[in-house]
Structure 1
């Protein structure tokens, strides 16, 4: 299944106008979904991996804000920063999707940002 289709499935399953995506990826298969993200979304490509290289060829094709990361510590810092930013902007609904297992879980509470430690 194309991961871009997973994004569409998620969009269709939520009626909220203010939905935003934070998409993490490192493989070339993550490039197509990054092109489907909107200006209010975030793309987190792993630096020096295939999706990073594809995005760097023409970053203007990706409408979402691009936030690269290199290792687990940087991924955590960037992701927590973006989650905090989104949760401050609006009352957020967080959704996680496992594309490899083709599962989708929806969390309609705000426990995620409160449960994670936020670093300034």
Structure 2
């Protein structure tokens, strides 16, 4: 049974944990999560297409996709779904039915049990409606400090309207989102807020090609968790063979969230 598996607890206790003497902000670990095929075990954009009467897109819409313009493509998909009479309830139900990745909820339970050490952030090229809907249904939304993703909301006609997250100049990333820009800006903002303090280590958990770019910004004390045999893992293996010196962070592939828990336990024991 899934849903509300992790109780939010007293938010005042959580706030006290964040500010407890002996657990200063600069000693905390920062964990970035991708969403599609990382937190959840499917691509949310593909999953909602099953809400269509025929459960698939027409060929003309599939072929309209342009490389690097996926956000623009999904705007067309969502408009088509609305034209086909797919309701907000149907979209919500499709999102809520997506299963979590193996062991993901175990990982989140572990992180909650050490919430004074770990700060959790989502950075995803999905959209805010899909992510918040799924996290709330699973009972884990309260664990995340921040969600960076493409804005999405229903208009008065019941159509889910999608917008790009930002613009950037990175040639490696899709035009609507560079996760490295987001990661660097978040770290800089937190450092400024804390008067120059910084996180002890940064962890990045992902699966796709757009998770490579933010990983390049991490240092030798940080760890990247690519999902084993997914595109992020394959690309990292290629990079290690061809230009290993360029990639500084530790690489720990994962099949289940338990693999990540095992690694984090070892790191915690070394503190």
Same fold (TM over 0.5): yes
- Indicate yes or no: 2:266 matched with 1:81: yes
Could you say what the CA RMSD is over the residues aligned between the two structures, in angstroms?
A: 1.9
Q: How much does 1:63 deviate?
A: 0.4
Q: Distance in 2 between matches of 1:54 and 1:73?
A: 23
Larger relative contact order (C-alpha < 8 A, sep ≥ 6)?
2
Q: How much does 1:80 deviate?
A: 3.7
Q: How much does 1:67 deviate?
A: 1.1
Aligned to 2:46: none
Q: Distance in 2 between matches of 1:85 and 1:54?
A: 31
| CA-to-aligned-CA distance 1:18-70 (integer Å, 9 cap, x gap) | 54211111111101111111112111111101100000002213201111111
SS at 1:44 equivalent: strand
TM-score (norm 2): 0.29
Equivalent residue for 1:27, pick from 201, 208, 220: 208
Equivalent residue for 2:222, pick from 35, 41, 45: 41
Contact residue 69 and residue 78 of structure 1 kept, 8 A: no
Contact residue 21 and residue 37 of structure 1 kept, 8 A: yes
- Indicate yes or no: 2:249 matched with 1:64: yes
Task: State the number of aligned residues.
Answer: 86
Aligned to 1:12: 188
Gap regions ≥5 residues in structure 2: 1-176
Q: Cα gap change, 1:80/1:26 in structure 2, threshold over 3 Å: closer, same or farther? A: farther
TM-score (norm 1): 0.62
Gap regions ≥5 residues in structure 1: 89-120
